[in-house]
């Protein structure tokens, strides 16, 4: 589906983090809808390196890009030489900046700030030099302990959420200075959908519960999960927001969610209904209390107003659309 009148067929598009979940979906969106567009995926890809929490340092996976016919560059946004090469070898029209330490539980604050905050400003400088519009990924994690999910009410409760607030602050500073390009920060809420599987334990609970159910294991929910509610958003609506952010009425920072909080219990109920498997539910203590969001719900009025964004998928519809892929992954990757 085309979400804008812009003809991307004549455009050069950089997608950092393009081997990851959201970045690879963007890459295929352009390839499928604008086959003449020049798409450059820049990603660190994965190695065996892990953080102290045991998770991989980067989740990029070639399998997310199977069938992709654009350019793939393996590089690090923290490497000034890699960035210089991007700057001199291309002339970008749009930069979609998805590369980041996306794991909200990473404890290494030094690498978190370097990767998420400082590298973003370096890329923003390239965008300004190229006269390219910048669309970057912020996060609902910026709200942390806040009970108001509107830009301006951020209260991050972990290093990841803080890093995204710093990205938003940089954005506000540049917008205030007055620049020729548009900059749009998108505060994604909890995203689920195809090409998230290789995020391992940080993939959404939709795919994780789906595979537990298919394995015949009783899905494990945190205690009180009927009251832990979040704004879960299907990948297709995230793509919509990104595309509409290419031509905003106003540069700025916008929430991207459905505007409706749903419980983790709802996810399991919908999955069990769709998969036609009822293997009950098991409740386990929540080990993340203190840095865990029990309620998120995006206020999306300004996103609608300034980007023309309108969420299309309820959780029932998103999960239903995702079911064939959950089953395919189960057969090819899990079993």
Pick between residue 23 and residue 318 the one whose CB is nearest to ligand NAD: 23
CA-closest candidate to residue 97, choices 194, 14, 176, 25: 14
Which of 114, 98, 108 lies closest to 59, judged by CA? 98
Instruction: List, in order, residues 6 or more apart from 287 with CB less than 8 Å away.
Output: none
Q: Is 160 a catalytic residue?
A: yes
Cβ density class 177-205: b for 16+ within 10 Å, e for less:
eeeebbbbbbbbbbbbbbbbbbbeebbbb
Asked if residue 279 lies in contact with residue 219, where contact means CB atoms within 8 angstroms, the answer is yes
Q: Is residue 23 a contact point for ligand NAD (CB under 6 A)?
A: yes
Tell me if 126 contacts ligand NAD by CB under 6 A: no
Q: Report in angstroms the alpha-carbon separations of 91 from 119, 171, 222.
A: 19, 21, 48
Number of residues that bind ligand NAD (CB under 6 A): 27
Give 132 or 207: the residue with its C-beta nearer to ligand NAD: 207
Q: What is the DSSP string of 140-172?
A: GGGTTT-S--STT-----SHHHHHHHHHHHHHH
Which parts of 25-44 interact with ligand NAD (CB under 6 A)? Answer: 43-44
Give the integer Cα–Cα distance in Å for 73 and 174: 28
- Catalytically annotated residue among 3, 29, 34, 160: 160
Residue 199 among the catalytic residues: yes
Q: Say how far apart CA 249 and CA 335 lie, in whole Å.
A: 47
Q: Which stretch binds ligand NAD (CB under 6 A): 20-28, 146-154, 208-216, 260-268?
A: 20-28
Among 170, 181, 191, 245, binds ligand NAD (CB under 6 A): 191
- Please report how close the Cβ of residue 217 comes to ligand NAD at its closest, in angstroms: 23
CB atoms within 10 A of CB 12: 18
Return the residues of window 61-120 that contact ligand NAD according to CB under 6 A.
76-78, 98-102, 115
Residue 3 CB neighbour total at 10 angstroms: 20
Q: Decide whether 58 or 146 has the Cβ nearer to ligand NAD.
A: 58
Return d(Cα 152, Cα 47) in angstroms, integer: 37
Choose, from 199, 244, 254, 309, the residue flagged as catalytic.
199
Which of the stretches 15-23, 123-131, 221-229, 304-312 binds ligand NAD when contact is defined by CB under 6 A?
Answer: 15-23
Tell me the closest approach of the beta carbon of residue 202 to ligand NAD, in angstroms. Answer: 7
Q: For ligand NAD, which residue has the nearest CB?
A: 20
- Rank residues 17 and 248 by Cβ distance to ligand NAD and give the closer one: 17
Which residues carry out catalysis?
A: 160, 199
Which residues contribute to the site for ligand NAD (CB under 6 A)? 17, 19-23, 43-45, 58-60, 76-78, 98-102, 115, 137, 139, 188, 190-191, 199
């Amino acid at each position: 589906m085309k979400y804008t009148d812009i003809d991307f067929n004549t455009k050069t598009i950089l997608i950092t983090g393009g081997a990851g979940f959201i970045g690879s979906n963007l890459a295929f969106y352009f390839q499928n809808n604008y086959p003449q567009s020049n798409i450059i995926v820049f990603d660190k890809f994965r190695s065996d390196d892990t953080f102290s929490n045991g998770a991989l340092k980067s989740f990029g996976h070639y399998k997310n890009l199977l069938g992709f016919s654009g350019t793939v560059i393996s590089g690090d946004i923290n490497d000034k030489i890699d960035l210089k090469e991007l700057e001199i070898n291309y002339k970008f029209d749009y930069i979609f900046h998805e590369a980041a330490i996306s794991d909200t539980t990473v404890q290494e604050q030094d690498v978190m700030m370097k990767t998420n905050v400082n590298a973003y400003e370096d890329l923003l400088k390239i965008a300004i030099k190229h006269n390219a519009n910048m669309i970057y990924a912020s996060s609902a994690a910026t709200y942390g302990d806040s009970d108001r999910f509107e830009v301006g009410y951020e209260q991050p409760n972990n290093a990841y959420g803080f890093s995204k607030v710093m990205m938003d602050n940089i954005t506000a500073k540049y917008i205030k200075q007055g620049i020729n390009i548009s900059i749009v920060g998108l505060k994604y809420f909890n995203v689920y959908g195809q090409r998230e599987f290789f995020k391992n334990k940080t993939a959404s609970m939709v795919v994780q519960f789906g595979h537990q159910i298919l394995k015949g294991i009783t899905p494990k929910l945190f205690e009180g999960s009927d009251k832990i509610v979040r704004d879960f958003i299907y990948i297709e609506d995230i793509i919509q927001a990104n595309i509409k952010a290419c031509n905003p009425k106003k540069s700025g920072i916008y929430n991207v969610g459905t505007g409706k909080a749903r419980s983790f219990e709802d996810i399991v109920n919908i999955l069990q209904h769709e998969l036609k498997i009822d293997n009950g539910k098991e409740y386990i203590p929540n080990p993340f209390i203190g840095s865990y969001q029990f309620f998120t719900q995006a206020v999306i009025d300004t996103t609608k107003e300034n980007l023309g964004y309108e969420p299309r998928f309820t959780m029932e519809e998103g999960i239903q659309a995702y079911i064939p892929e959950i089953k395919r992954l189960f057969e090819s990757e899990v079993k």
